[in-house]
């Protein structure tokens, strides 16, 4: 279903510019003639993906706050002192 949406002149010009860039770079696979609505849809999809990525990043940001980093670093360096390969003998 198509809907008419009013956008500022500056946004309209930016959408036209994006459409031309998408067409020259062939950024959308299988699309050779980029219409204005395709460019706007692409911009909205890309923006939503960036917002979702930022939400996932900020959700994970506090996940390590209660870890004792000094102990973790010490354990890492202690683990590096020992080899990871085991001696295997075949009898």
Query: Tens digits of per-residue pLDDT, 34-68?
Result: 778 878 888 888 899 999 999 988 888 777 778 88
State in Å, rounded, how far the first CA of the chain is from the last one: 74
Report the C-alpha gap between 34 and 25 in whole angstroms: 11
Residue 29 three-state SS? coil
Q: With 0.75 as the threshold, say if the pTM is over it.
A: no
Instruction: Pick the more confident residue, 73 or 85.
Output: 73
Question: Cβ neighbours of residue 63 under 8 Å, at least 6 residues apart?
Answer: none
- The b-or-e profile of 1-30 (16+ CB within 10 A means b, else e) is eeeeeeeeeeeeeebeebbeebbeeeeeee
Instruction: Tell me how far apart the 2 most distant CA atoms of the chain are, in Å.
Output: 81
Q: Which two tokens stand for residue 6?
A: 């009013």
């Amino acid at each position: 279903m198509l809907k008419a949406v009013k956008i500022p002149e500056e946004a309209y010009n930016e959408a036209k510019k994006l459409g031309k860039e998408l067409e020259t770079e062939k950024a959308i696979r299988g699309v050779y003639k980029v219409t204005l609505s395709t460019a706007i849809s692409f911009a909205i999809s890309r923006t939503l993906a960036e917002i979702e990525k930022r939400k996932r990043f900020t959700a994970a940001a506090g996940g390590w706050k209660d870890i004792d980093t000094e102990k973790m670093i010490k354990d890492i360096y202690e683990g590096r002192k020992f080899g990871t390969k085991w001696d295997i003998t075949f009898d």
